[in-house]
Amino acid sequence: MDELTQQRDDKLTDIHRGQEESACELKAQKLGLNYINLAHVPVERDSLHFIPKEEAERIRAIVILKKGQTLKLGAVEPANEETKQVAERLKSQGFNIEIFMISISSFKKALDEFKFLPSQIKGASTSGEISLEKIEILKKELATFANLKTKLSQVNQTDTSALLEIFLSAALTLEVSDIHVEPQENQTQIRFRLDGVLQDAGTVIKTVYESVLSRIKLLSGLRLNVKDVPQDGRFTIKEDGAEVEVRVSILPGAYGEYIVLRILNPNAIKLNIKDLGFRDYLWQKLEPEIKKPSGIILVTGPTGSGKTTTLYAFLKHLNQPGIKIITLEDPIEYHLQGIDQSQVEPEKGYTFAQGLRSILRQDPNIILVGEIRDEETADVALHAALTGHLVFSTLHTNDAIGAIPRFLDLNAKSQILASALNAAIGQRLVRKLCSSCKAPADGDDVEKIKKNLSDIPENIIPKEITVYKKVGCEKCGGTGYKGRIGIYEVVFVSDSLEKLIATNPSHQDILTEAKKNGFITMFQDGLLRVLEGETTLEEISRVTSSNV
Ligand SMILES: [Zn+2]
């Protein structure tokens, strides 16, 4: 095209544009609407994300400007049903909406602005790649839970591209174990599981949610266009030289797909016995049991009570060149050096029972069986324990004593169980009071607490009682707690208890007998922590469902 032709075409375009705008303005007047010509008014790029590009293209409407809580919406067809719905959606997010009629040319010009936005907001066309550099910078900004909340509230207005990096930085700095992204009717709720408790981290708008969903799906190799079936995936990031695995679970819901990210950070897992929280008197009795050459040790408690960590710490404690340790897990949560770990695959017939049989042919000294939940596994595990192997496993029972009736329910012969069982451990994780902000409490509960400790040896009760209450500061995200510790109860199988087990005893019978041997319940173990000012009665009651 030569210069003259170009000039002529431009001229024609100008005339055409002029006519188009006049027609649009007239139409707006007739409908009693505001009109705006975007040839003269710039579109604010930061406002574009309120309507995702695909949707904007479809309904030919765009957010031109955000002023305070007011959004100026430009629409080619303001009366269109879908346009009205989008306006309603934005209203429900707390915005006032001013609608302007725009010409098709104005709309096309505004739509062009999308190409200047960070790629993530465009949705499915991103690579999804994580910026480790960004994570490192963000980690410094997100050193407290309060900062994270502020950061998330800013995301809606500014840099939507970094949301995943914000999530991951927070997870690493604050030792968040899970990130929950829950789309609701009008917005998406973000919650973080911190020290076992879900904490509200704010909400994000739909476009931000969609952008992060696409990135997560791309990163973990999930199908972007599949939205109606659950999907599971994973990806890894590097932190301080360690591979941090992120397990992704996506579940279809009423208002979009729920996302849960589980962060498996090997730097965060504490595998030293002293970090677990066994009291000295208890560990002195327990250590000889886990060092026996054979028998079975059971750890009980609900999901998230720290059973796996306890067992890993035991294995690490026992691991030495002369001993062969094999595990059978579902799934392998952390890789332990010098230990052969395997994972069950029930769909391929590699179940706990099958796997245990195979493992026994590998001539191990110590076996970890992730969980015992069927008769066959219970049977093989008991026989392994009676034939020169030390077996560790978990059971989903409420308390340590419950392990015995549960095993009997699984058709274990009571005599076999009685001679195979070394110890049954019950445990919970309680949040520790934040040492930066805890304050002395009035001690009103001390007498009641002591009453609940009347049947335990005097020398175990702390001499100096210092009860504290939670306060909340920047360091603990305002929760008043920081970090967790285990509370425990252990049933040791004494000669008298062995005889009792052989008679198919009830829960109460076992408790009475265990008490004679100095059994302290995990509730009592927790109360001792309260008297030492490490946690609160409220926290112990929460995790044990017991009260003074
Ligand atoms: Zn604090």
Q: Determine the distance separating the centroid of ligand 1 and the alpha carbon of 273, expressed in angstroms.
A: 26
Instruction: Give the number of other CB atoms < 10 A from CB of residue 373.
Output: 14
Q: Determine the distance separating the centroid of ligand 1 and the alpha carbon of 548, expressed in angstroms.
A: 26
Q: Determine the distance separating the centroid of ligand 1 and the alpha carbon of 445, expressed in angstroms.
A: 22
| Cβ atoms of 201 and 148 closer than 8 Å | yes
Identify the bridge partners of residue 350 per DSSP, sorted by sequence position. 345
Residue 125, pLDDT > 50, answer no
Least confident of 37-41, 110-114, 157-161, 259-263: 157-161
Least confident of 150-164, 171-185, 374-388, 514-528: 150-164
pLDDT confidence bin for 126, thresholds 50/70/90: very low
Q: What is the mean pLDDT of residues 203-231?
A: 88
pLDDT confidence bin for 118, thresholds 50/70/90: low
Q: Determine the distance separating the centroid of ligand 1 and the alpha carbon of 435, expressed in angstroms.
A: 7
Q: What is the mean pLDDT of residues 72-77?
A: 93
Residue 321, pLDDT > 60, answer yes
Q: Determine the distance separating the centroid of ligand 1 and the alpha carbon of 439, expressed in angstroms.
A: 10
Q: Determine the distance separating the centroid of ligand 1 and the alpha carbon of 431, expressed in angstroms.
A: 12
Phi-psi map region of 2: left, alpha, beta (phi>0 left; psi -120 to 50 alpha): beta
Q: Determine the distance separating the centroid of ligand 1 and the alpha carbon of 482, expressed in angstroms.
A: 7
Q: Residue 407's closest CA among 308, 493, 496?
A: 493
Whole-number pLDDT of residue 127: 43
Whole-number pLDDT of residue 9: 66
**Per residue in 268-282, pLDDT tens?**
777 899 999 999 999
Q: Determine the distance separating the centroid of ligand 1 and the alpha carbon of 534, expressed in angstroms.
A: 13
Q: Determine the distance separating the centroid of ligand 1 and the alpha carbon of 38, expressed in angstroms.
A: 51
Q: Determine the distance separating the centroid of ligand 1 and the alpha carbon of 136, expressed in angstroms.
A: 24
Q: Determine the distance separating the centroid of ligand 1 and the alpha carbon of 153, expressed in angstroms.
A: 22
Q: Determine the distance separating the centroid of ligand 1 and the alpha carbon of 414, expressed in angstroms.
A: 49
**Per residue in 283-317, pLDDT tens?**
999 999 999 999 999 999 998 899 999 999 999 99
List strand residue ranges (DSSP E) for 323-469, in order. Answer: 325-329, 340-343, 366-369, 390-395, 421-433, 439-440, 468-469
Q: Determine the distance separating the centroid of ligand 1 and the alpha carbon of 276, expressed in angstroms.
A: 22
Q: Determine the distance separating the centroid of ligand 1 and the alpha carbon of 469, expressed in angstroms.
A: 11
| Cβ atoms of 297 and 422 closer than 8 Å | yes
Q: Determine the distance separating the centroid of ligand 1 and the alpha carbon of 191, expressed in angstroms.
A: 19
Q: What is the mean pLDDT of residues 147-167?
A: 76
**Per residue in 2-49, pLDDT tens?**
566 666 666 667 778 888 899 999 999 988 889 999 887 778 877 887
Whole-number pLDDT of residue 119: 44
Give the tokens for residue 267.
Answer: 């730097």
Q: What is the mean pLDDT of residues 506-512?
A: 95
**Per residue in 462-486, pLDDT tens?**
999 999 999 998 888 788 999 999 9
Residue 529, pLDDT > 80, answer yes
**Per residue in 337-387, pLDDT tens?**
889 999 998 888 889 999 999 999 999 999 999 999 999 999 999 999 999
Q: Give the chain's mean pLDDT.
A: 88
Alpha carbon 176 to chain centroid distance? 7
Whole-number pLDDT of residue 124: 31
pLDDT confidence bin for 507, thresholds 50/70/90: very high
Which residue has tokens 């059973």?
A: 307
Q: Determine the distance separating the centroid of ligand 1 and the alpha carbon of 488, expressed in angstroms.
A: 25
pTM of the entire predicted model: 0.71
Longest dimension (CA), the chain: 108
Whole-number pLDDT of residue 122: 35
pLDDT confidence bin for 159, thresholds 50/70/90: low
Q: Determine the distance separating the centroid of ligand 1 and the alpha carbon of 146, expressed in angstroms.
A: 11
Give the highest mean pLDDT range of 69-78, 217-226, 538-547. Answer: 538-547
Residue 160, pLDDT > 70, answer no
Please give the share of the chain, as a percent, with pLDDT higher than 70.
94
**What domains are there in the chain, each with its CATH number?**
3-117 (3.30.300.160), 122-264 (3.30.450.90), 273-544 (3.40.50.300)
Whole-number pLDDT of residue 372: 96
Whole-number pLDDT of residue 17: 82
Give the tokens for residue 484.
Answer: 């967790």
Whole-number pLDDT of residue 138: 83
**3-state class percentages of the chain: helix first, strand second, coil last, to nearest 5:** 40, 25, 35
> What CA dihedral angle connects 321, 327, 331 and 335, to 10 degrees?
0
Alpha carbon 334 to chain centroid distance? 16
DSSP 148: H
Whole-number pLDDT of residue 50: 81
The rounded distance, in Å, linking the Cα atoms of 261 and 168 is: 9
Phi, psi of 416 (to 5 degrees): -65, -45
**Per residue in 322-336, pLDDT tens?**
999 999 998 888 888
Q: What is the mean pLDDT of residues 385-401?
A: 96
Whole-number pLDDT of residue 236: 86
